[in-house]
Amino acid sequence: MKGFVALALAMVAVLLFAGEYAVPLHPLRGQAETAEAAPRPAPTTRSRFSGEALTLDRDASGQFHVDARVNGNLTKFLVDTGADTVALTVRDAEAAGIPVNPNAFIPILRTASGEGWGTLVKIDRIELGDTEVTNVQAIVARDLDVSLLGQTVLARMGRVELAGDRMVIEQKP
C-alpha cells in the first residue's frame, strides 16, 4: 500500500509539471476533437550519442527533447529531470504495444483547469542510444501532449548535467 501511495504521489508530481502541456479534458472519451485543437509542430532538437554520453541541445522552445525506443517503437520525449516517473501519451503507449484500458484511468490531479486522469503501467524496455532500461514504472496520462522522460529512466542511465544550452547524460557502464 505504501508503494502505491508513493507512486500516486509521483504521478501527481509529473502531472503538475505536465499541466502546461495538457489539453483540456473532454467530457466523453472518444468524442471528436474540435477544429480549435490544431496540432503543434514537432520541436526540432539535436542529440548526439558519443561513446558513453548523450548530448542534447536546447530547442527553440527552451526545452530538451530526445528520441528513444519504447518497446522498439520510436517515441519523442521531453526530458523532464523534475518528473519522478516516465509519462506516456495514450498515442505513444498504444504505438509501443502497451495496452491502455480507458476504464483504468483515475482522476489523479485537480487544478483550476480541471482534472488530470492517468493509469499506472510498466514498460518492458526503453532504449536511448546504446543504453537499454528495462521494467520501467510509468504512467499513461490521458490528456498529455508529449511523453515525458523522467527519473524512472534518467536515474538508471547515469549522471545528468546541464551546461547552458546543453544537457549531457553520462551513461553508466
CA distance 82 to 122: 20
Sorted by where each starts, the structural domains of the chain and their CATH numbers stand as 2-23+45-170 (2.40.70.10)
- Cα separation, 26 vs 116, in Å, equals 11
pLDDT digits (tens, 9 = 90+) for 138-154: 999 988 999 999 999 99
pLDDT band at 28 (very low <50, low <70, confident <90, very high): very low
Quote the pTM value.
Answer: 0.70
Residue 163: how many other CB atoms lie within 10 Å = 8
